[in-house]
């Protein structure tokens, strides 16, 4: 064992995001797995499920109260919404203070937690050890809207379509390939958690209409933005290039990006930039892999910052 490495544990590692995170950790020079918890896979070897991992570690199912004794410097909570607090409370009661990154929505509205959308919140980093990872749709929406936030004339309207991996591994209509075949399934057309999240962190109301499609991974968000003043396409694109030109995990492209081209890739793409004839409305398309830049990759960005290594360490760049 390399004693200079930080030990990392994953709680709820059976899901799609947990698997992607293990792949990233396996390639990371400064991290090693301390534990991976999954009740369903308890006792099974990790390398039997994630080929990229090399080691003897097995999945386990520790009680929440036992987590602080497992020796992790970093803990990722990959649990359903509403389940993170019990784990956080266990660390607090034990007086153990690892870096904790929560993938659920539980702390995205809690000002005591750092909201880790690096491209938009990097400047507010103050060495926090409790990090709330943004939602996948919320990431795409915020990246699409932020460069024009100061010239909006009305709430942005966002139409989203995600692959069914975004619905998790618990069986439901939204991740049933047979029900999704030749179908586009709308859901939560008002009040979606990511609508609330994007609105909160942008500081402007956002309207969002999500759908699930038959493909497995990757999402696209098409946003219609009404502007308070006339803008040319060139001026709009200039704003996005200025905002993201130096961001390694956000690509600004001319044409509207295709979701099929973003699967298994770690960056977001933003393009299209269709401006209405009067110059006061622009339509922008963003794509990202919901399991990577929408989840595991962004977790890794946040962990890297927290442990003091380069933000893109172990993340394959475009």
Report the alpha-carbon distance of residue 153 to residue 34 in Å, rounded.
Answer: 50
Active-site choice (10, 11, 99, 136): 136
**Strands 268-275 and 207-212, how do they pair?**
unpaired
Whose tokens are 């110059």? That residue is 279
Cα 187 to Cα 74, 135, 157, 173, 174: the distances in Å are 35, 16, 16, 11, 9
**Quick check: 272 and 224 in contact, CB under 8 A?**
no
**Quick check: 16 and 169 in contact, CB under 8 A?**
yes
State which H helix or E strand residue 302 sits in: helix 297-307
State which H helix or E strand residue 107 sits in: none
Report the alpha-carbon distance of residue 195 to residue 203 in Å, rounded.
Answer: 12
Q: Which residues, in sequence order, are CB contacts of 198 under 8 Å at separation 6+?
A: 137, 138, 141, 142, 145, 158, 206, 208
Q: Which residues, in sequence order, are CB contacts of 234 under 8 Å at separation 6+?
A: none
Active site residue 136: yes
Ranges of H-type helices in 168-269: 177-180, 193-202, 233-244
66 CB burial (10 A radius; 0-12, 13-18, 19+): middle
State which H helix or E strand residue 307 sits in: helix 297-307
Ranges of H-type helices in 10-167: 16-26, 84-94, 118-121, 136-145
How many other CB atoms are there within 10 angstroms of residue 192's CB atom? 21
Give catalytic residue positions: 136
């Amino acid at each position: 064992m390399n004693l200079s490495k930080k030990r990392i544990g994953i709680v709820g590692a059976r899901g799609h995001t947990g698997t992607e995170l293990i792949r990233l950790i396996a390639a990371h020079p400064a991290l090693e797995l301390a534990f991976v918890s999954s009740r369903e896979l308890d006792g099974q070897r990790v390398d039997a499920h994630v080929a990229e991992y090399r080691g003897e570690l097995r999945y386990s199912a520790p009680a929440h109260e036992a987590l602080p004794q497992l020796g992790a410097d970093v803990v990722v909570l990959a649990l359903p919404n509403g389940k993170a607090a019990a784990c956080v409370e266990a660390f607090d009661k034990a007086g153990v203070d690892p870096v904790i990154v929560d993938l659920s929505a539980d702390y995205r509205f809690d000002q005591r937690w750092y909201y880790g959308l690096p491209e938009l919140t990097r400047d507010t980093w103050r060495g926090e050890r409790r990090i709330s990872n943004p939602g996948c749709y919320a990431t795409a929406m915020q990246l699409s809207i932020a460069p024009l936030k100061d010239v909006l004339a009305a709430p942005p309207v966002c139409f989203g379509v995600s692959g069914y991996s975004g619905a998790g591994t618990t069986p439901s209509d939204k991740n049933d390939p047979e029900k999704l075949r030749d179908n586009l399934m709308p859901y939560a057309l008002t009040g979606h958690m990511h609508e609330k999240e994007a609105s909160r962190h942008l500081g402007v109301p956002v309207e969002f209409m999500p759908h699930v499609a038959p493909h497995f991974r990757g999402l696209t968000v098409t946003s219609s933005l009404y502007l308070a003043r006339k803008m040319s396409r060139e001026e709009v694109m200039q704003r996005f290039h200025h905002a993201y030109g130096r961001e390694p995990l956000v690509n600004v492209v001319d044409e509207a990006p295709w979701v099929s081209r973003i699967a298994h890739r770690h960056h977001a793409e933003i393009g299209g930039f269709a401006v209405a004839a009067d110059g006061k409305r622009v339509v922008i398309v963003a794509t990202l892999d919901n399991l990577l830049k929408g989840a595991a990759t962004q977790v890794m960005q946040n962990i890297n910052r927290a442990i003091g290594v380069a933000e893109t360490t172990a993340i394959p760049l475009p």
